[in-house]
Amino acid sequence: MRPGTLISTWTLDCFAGRVRSTSDLVSQVCDPRFINPQTGPFYVEGAEPGDTLAVHFRSIAPREARGVSTTVPLFGSLTATALTAMLHDPLPERTWVYEIDRDAGLVRYDALDSAYQVDLPLDPMHGTVGVAPALREVRSSLAPGDWGGNMDTPEMRAGTTCYLGVNVDGALFSLGDGHARQGEGEACGVAVECAMDTELVVEVIKGATPTAWPRLESDDFLMTTGSARPLDDAFRIAHTQLVRWVQELTDLSTMDAYQLVSQTALTPVANMVDTTYTVVAKIAKRYLPGATAMQDVHERLRSR
Amino acid sequence: MRPGTLISTWTLDCFAGRVRSTSDLVSQVCDPRFINPQTGPFYVEGAEPGDTLAVHFRSIAPREARGVSTTVPLFGSLTATALTAMLHDPLPERTWVYEIDRDAGLVRYDALDSAYQVDLPLDPMHGTVGVAPALREVRSSLAPGDWGGNMDTPEMRAGTTCYLGVNVDGALFSLGDGHARQGEGEACGVAVECAMDTELVVEVIKGATPTAWPRLESDDFLMTTGSARPLDDAFRIAHTQLVRWVQELTDLSTMDAYQLVSQTALTPVANMVDTTYTVVAKIAKRYLPGATAMQDVHERLRSR
Amino acid sequence: MRPGTLISTWTLDCFAGRVRSTSDLVSQVCDPRFINPQTGPFYVEGAEPGDTLAVHFRSIAPREARGVSTTVPLFGSLTATALTAMLHDPLPERTWVYEIDRDAGLVRYDALDSAYQVDLPLDPMHGTVGVAPALREVRSSLAPGDWGGNMDTPEMRAGTTCYLGVNVDGALFSLGDGHARQGEGEACGVAVECAMDTELVVEVIKGATPTAWPRLESDDFLMTTGSARPLDDAFRIAHTQLVRWVQELTDLSTMDAYQLVSQTALTPVANMVDTTYTVVAKIAKRYLPGATAMQDVHERLRSR
Amino acid sequence: MRPGTLISTWTLDCFAGRVRSTSDLVSQVCDPRFINPQTGPFYVEGAEPGDTLAVHFRSIAPREARGVSTTVPLFGSLTATALTAMLHDPLPERTWVYEIDRDAGLVRYDALDSAYQVDLPLDPMHGTVGVAPALREVRSSLAPGDWGGNMDTPEMRAGTTCYLGVNVDGALFSLGDGHARQGEGEACGVAVECAMDTELVVEVIKGATPTAWPRLESDDFLMTTGSARPLDDAFRIAHTQLVRWVQELTDLSTMDAYQLVSQTALTPVANMVDTTYTVVAKIAKRYLPGATAMQDVHERLRSR
């Protein structure tokens, strides 16, 4: 993958297309070893450990006119899980199918046990975006961490640039897990899953302060992420990262940056369902007048 | 306090006005026993255990042209605390003063260690709103819980109705801890604190499903809160409450309501600094067409 | 209550004696407002804020030849609870009756759904031991905290001295929640509950470093407690307290005391079921040769 | 590696021998990529996915007459870390050297900042014991999980049998991280680290209920482990595993097994410092008369 070149690619949905109707249950039609397949890894020319990889999403669009969501036994935020282990039986396993109207920008929620229907805004994003981890680890695409991965934040939409610290030569960038939309927290563990057509362009940033955890930039916001359990630690990571970033961009002292972030941050939960949980901390760029992040790569990539 | 009557009241700031300048440090000028003084408790006529108290905020306005924020030793989300106990020395104790321009709707951040200044939107709210707890407990106004209390959510602004389960005759409603604005999470532990002039009207709801945890309603959103540690449990409370509320308002089955909430909820962290932490879960009312919450009291109170 | 005088008292079991047979279910026979009744509060002559109250248990003996244990809906460590809220139905509610053979020092476990029986050692203790909280709070006897309360540690047995920081004149000491025995963690939320005959003697320690969290001393161990959620914070409190205590007793530097504690501490979980969870950290006194804690009050009280 | 054959092997210490004196600081002499080197992986003949690998430790003995412990910046339970991220500076980095007297069975603690010395019992164990993870992951030897790994429990001593679920052909067993002794929780993050001479014998158990999480058996106890964050989840895993194991060995119903475990379990914290935390739950075999675990392999291996 060459920096600066527009890449058109596509991704499978997290079930590799095996969940097609409300009678397809994940535990019956999917092999757990092949859940959440990724597109990649891509070798990014010139990327070396210590660099920062910028990934700008030009467009993210559902490949099909429908998406699916499910519950999965012992997975989700309001159920006992393999880690939050309890003596309860699993909640029922169900599958919902959403019609997607790409022209109208809507996805239709259709209740299973009653006639309730409601249209929700289409808001496509990638749940999983990452590079190879440090320490020569190989991680499941279900896991989020400091390499990115399965962060499941709705902020990963078109128009956003994601920054990832490079751990190995070529970065080994991959993406997948398209969501037609997702609530913050992804409570039941599964968003409106669909295959995606995605256009993106990458850039390799040399000489910047290495990015310990994934960051995002939109036209209006700088964002940090933390992925850990409990959610408290995900919050702490995201907020210390935001304090440090603000400090770097403004020359504020640590305590002054802490204060400014305390009064301005937005803090949406991304997911509380994956192997670790993800919190996003956001600051509006208008509170940082004159600041330019990451050598202004977001502005360059979005305007190309 | 008589239901249906507009009440004009006011509250002290959380330091009882003792922090006036950047040289006033909380540990020197405040007695920890008298931090976060409340206005009240008010006996609400007709309120009985099992009822729900609705508190609609008509207006919340700073009484003075300035607010203060501080750090406090061993308090905040990015520091060791009395509960997240560590061997570190406390972070430095500092005080910031914010000029408030009520006409322009701005509060001015002024860095202590450099010349950095930036105007932030004024967004007044009450950090602490509650009734008497159950089980005859008497709780510090620093604590949030199922009785409300120090939830520190920026959603508690004018135009919002807060619902609180009544535990004792007369409910014993109180409020305080005005914030000229606050970031989500209130990372350093202290918002832009100021005394407030507040207009509110209360209503007692009889015969509704009792409200186990505080809820909020604005013109556009239904919101639930959970206050617990870790943040995971606060999330779980807020989201199960939202699933149950949606279920009640729509006749959806549990799993259908879980699914709808999963794809639509917003989940901002309110605070991660108090004795327990607070998470808010929100669903846009437009996804619940035809639903009427709490006997439509929000609509009645806002339009009065 | 006069310091230095042997007190003979008794306590009700946590159900106030209302659970008598396997067909008595807590949710049917108990009023939640009156769960876990305490004996006291006792006004301790001479106790003032800043002092430390030492409570030495001379003997703790079951008043009757049987105890009971139960499950309680949405209570316990392996089930969804009011705070770890989920969409599961509660686990089944059951009651077990244990015969207590005081002479043989045994309690008999008797399975409900099969003929399985096994004798367990009698090991009587008090789950709830405390003083009045700080900040003029009034807390439920179900809650543990820095005032003591419902810590549910099996270390609170005869022969042990418990140290509690005094917050109000007279300390207002109380105790209850006798357990014929208890596993570490008290997983299902209820131990082998029974009324107790208890002999104790108190002492007021003046001029010692105030005890921020309850501590215990036996003939062989110094112990600290921390009560918080998550269990991580309970661990952090107990261990920082132990490091500080060792430091005070030995003149070791902070880092040296941290090192010594790291290689020697025992760390049993006390309970993971109450409103906050309790962890105990223990160091054998033989690793602190020559050290004398709390003005040697344990030695004086045990030998009296 | 052939099942049933006594293996004599040895392991490096977790610093690969690079920390030799009190002036060797980990951050200066060690490369973080090579911390905690393991011996192995060994291909165990006949081991297949779904089997259980039994590893019986015949002897574990320090190879040298000394061990070392250290603090490491942003690592440990009483400090801010990379995950429990805060704005504090790291605690001081220090190194302690322990003389080991193998004949007397003692390790000598020697304070750095004073003349304090005390002898502690030698109690050798392996901190890291594991097989290849599931889902084709490759994990750092710093991580504990359901494959075993860096559990850091003092129970992993000679005379104990460790049971591990096999995920790949040949199991790919490895071990390392010898500790001359360790406190429960390993508070500062580093035990008394030393190279070890270790004798062990493995067995492959076919047809047993697969072991979801590592288990241990000694002559007197059955033990389960859970590794997760927060510690609450590690507790929940260990205790549900113990309930399920007791149920399987005794034919008790789930609720009866939950009750028996609740009154008998010991629950020491193993570590609260690694990438996830480990809790052990133990039940004395004498409370399970007649029960035989894992086809009695512990008895066969210990008596060989």
Chain A residue closest to B238 (CA)? A78
Q: Give the DSSP letter string of chain B.
A: --TTS-EEEEE--TTTT---STT--HHHH--GGGSS-EEEEEPPTT--TT-EEEEEEEEEEESSSEEEEE-BTTBSSSS--SSS--SSPPPPP-EEEEEEETTTTEEEEE-SSSS-EEEEE---EEEEEE---STT-B--TT-EETTEES---TT-BTT-EEEEE--STTTTEEEEEEES---TB-TTS---B--EEEEEEEEEE-SSPP-SS-EEE-SSEEEEEEEESSHHHHHHHHHHHHHHHHHHHH---HHHHHHHHHHH-B-BEEESSSSSEEEEEEEEGGGSTT---GGGHHHHHHT-
The kind and range of the H/E element at C55 are strand C52-62
Give the burial string for B227-237 (b: 16+ CB within 10 Å, else e): bbbbbbbbbbb
Which residues, 6+ apart, have CB-to-CB distance to B63 below 8 Å? B10, B194, B195, B196, B197
Q: Measuring CA to CA, how many Å separate A281 from each of A81, A268, C98, D77, D118? A: 27, 7, 53, 25, 48
Q: What is the CATH number of domain B7-298?
A: 2.60.120.580
Question: What pLDDT is stored for residue B304 in this prediction?
Answer: 77
Average pLDDT rounded to a whole number, residues D107-111: 98
Alpha-carbon distance of A73 to B240, in angstroms, equals: 18
Whether residue A304 has pLDDT greater than 80: no
DSSP for residue C11: E
User: Is residue B162 a contact partner of residue B216, using CB atoms and an 8 Å limit?
Assistant: yes
The pTM of the full predicted model, rounded to 2 decimals, is 0.98
Average pLDDT rounded to a whole number, residues D154-176: 98
Judge residue D117's burial from the number of C-beta atoms within 10 Å of its C-beta, 0-12 exposed, 13-18 middle, 19 or more buried: exposed
Give B-chain residues touching D81 at CB under 8 angstroms: none
Which residues, 6+ apart, have CB-to-CB distance to C28 below 8 Å? none
Q: What are phi and psi of D60, to 5 degrees?
A: -140, 115
Cβ-nearest to D266 among C78, C251, C268: C268
β-bridge mates for residue D161, sequence order: D56, D217
Question: What pLDDT is stored for residue A22 in this prediction?
Answer: 98
Q: Measuring CA to CA, how many Å separate D157 from each of A161, C158, D106, D120, D218? A: 51, 32, 16, 16, 9
Q: Which tokens go with A57? A: 């999403």
For the stretch C247-267, pLDDT in tens is 999 999 999 999 999 999 999
Whether residue D223 has pLDDT greater than 90: yes
Q: Which residue has the tokens 């099909």?
A: A64
Size of interface A-B (CB pairs under 8 A): 205
Chain D residue closest to A255 (CA)? D87
Distance from CA of B299 to the nearest CA of C (A): 30
Query: What pLDDT band is residue C210 in, cutting at 50, 70 and 90?
Result: confident
User: Is residue C196 a contact partner of residue C62, using CB atoms and an 8 Å limit?
Assistant: yes
Cis ω on the peptide bond leading into residue B41 (within 30° of 0)?
yes
User: Is residue C159 a contact partner of residue C57, using CB atoms and an 8 Å limit?
Assistant: yes
Q: Which residue has the tokens 């040895």?
A: D10
DSSP for residue C89: P
Query: What pLDDT band is residue B153 in, cutting at 50, 70 and 90?
Result: very high
Give D-chain residues touching C93 at CB under 8 angstroms: none
Which residues, 6+ apart, have CB-to-CB distance to B263 below 8 Å? A69, A107, A109, A120, A181, A182, A183, A191, A192
Q: What is the mean pLDDT of chain B?
A: 97
For the stretch D244-253, pLDDT in tens is 999 999 999 9
Q: Measuring CA to CA, how many Å separate A19 from each of A27, A61, A195, B258, C228? A: 10, 19, 12, 19, 43
Whether residue A126 has pLDDT greater than 80: yes
Give C-chain residues touching A84 at CB under 8 angstroms: 84
Q: Which CATH architecture has domain D7-302?
A: Sandwich (2.60)
Give D-chain residues touching C252 at CB under 8 angstroms: 111, 113-114, 116
Domain boundaries, chain D: 7-302
Q: Please answer yes or no on whether C96 and D243 come within 8 Å at the CB atom.
A: no
Question: What pLDDT is stored for residue D29 in this prediction?
Answer: 97
Distance from CA of B92 to the nearest CA of D (A): 10
- Of C152 and D32, the one with more pLDDT: C152
Q: Please answer yes or no on whether D113 and C229 come within 8 Å at the CB atom.
A: no
For the stretch B229-274, pLDDT in tens is 999 999 999 999 999 999 999 999 999 999 999 999 999 999 999 9
Give D-chain residues touching C287 at CB under 8 angstroms: 109, 118, 120
- Mutation site, A72, A87, A93, A272, interface C, largest C CB count within 10 A: A87
Q: Please answer yes or no on whether B79 and D91 come within 8 Å at the CB atom.
A: no
For the stretch B95-108, pLDDT in tens is 999 999 999 999 99
Whether residue A19 has pLDDT greater than 80: yes
CA quadruple A46, A47, A50, A56: dihedral positive or negative?
positive
Alpha-carbon distance of C38 to C141, in angstroms, equals: 7
- Minimum mean pLDDT among A242-246, C63-67, D29-33: which range? D29-33
β-bridge mates for residue D163, sequence order: D54, D215
Helix (H, G, I), strand (E, B) or coil at D257: helix
Judge residue D91's burial from the number of C-beta atoms within 10 Å of its C-beta, 0-12 exposed, 13-18 middle, 19 or more buried: buried
Question: What pLDDT is stored for residue D2 in this prediction?
Answer: 96
Question: What pLDDT is stored for residue D304 in this prediction?
Answer: 76
* Chain A positions with Cβ closer than 8 Å to D: 32-33, 82-87, 135-140, 142, 212, 226, 228-230, 233, 236-237, 239-241, 243, 254, 258
Whether residue A71 has pLDDT greater than 80: yes
Whether residue A141 has pLDDT greater than 80: yes
Alpha-carbon distance of C110 to D283, in angstroms, equals: 17
Q: Please answer yes or no on whether B264 and A183 come within 8 Å at the CB atom.
A: yes
Question: What pLDDT is stored for residue A209 in this prediction?
Answer: 86
Alpha-carbon distance of B109 to B107, in angstroms, equals: 7
Question: What pLDDT is stored for residue B208 in this prediction?
Answer: 86
Query: What pLDDT band is residue D85 in, cutting at 50, 70 and 90?
Result: very high
Query: What pLDDT band is residue A208 in, cutting at 50, 70 and 90?
Result: confident
Interface partners of B (3+ CB pairs, < 8 Å)? A, C, D
Question: What pLDDT is stored for residue B209 in this prediction?
Answer: 86
Q: Please answer yes or no on whether D137 and A138 come within 8 Å at the CB atom.
A: yes
Q: Please answer yes or no on whether B112 and A277 come within 8 Å at the CB atom.
A: no
Alpha-carbon distance of C84 to A83, in angstroms, equals: 14
Whether residue D170 has pLDDT greater than 90: yes
Q: What is the mean pLDDT of chain D?
A: 97
Query: What pLDDT band is residue C216 in, cutting at 50, 70 and 90?
Result: very high
Interface partners of C (3+ CB pairs, < 8 Å)? A, B, D
Question: What pLDDT is stored for residue A101 in this prediction?
Answer: 98
For the stretch C13-58, pLDDT in tens is 999 999 999 999 999 999 988 999 999 999 999 999 999 999 999 9
Whether residue C136 has pLDDT greater than 90: yes
Q: Please answer yes or no on whether C231 and D236 come within 8 Å at the CB atom.
A: no
Average pLDDT rounded to a whole number, residues A128-155: 97
Average pLDDT rounded to a whole number, residues D118-130: 98
For the stretch D34-49, pLDDT in tens is 999 999 999 999 999 9
Q: What is the mean pLDDT of chain C?
A: 97
Alpha-carbon distance of B217 to B52, in angstroms, equals: 14
Q: What are phi and psi of C231, to 5 degrees?
A: -55, -30
Neighbours of D222 (CB within 10 A): 24
Q: What are phi and psi of B198, to 5 degrees?
A: -130, 135
Give A-chain residues touching B71 at CB under 8 angstroms: 255, 258-259
Query: What pLDDT band is residue D209 in, cutting at 50, 70 and 90?
Result: confident
Query: What pLDDT band is residue D282 in, cutting at 50, 70 and 90?
Result: very high
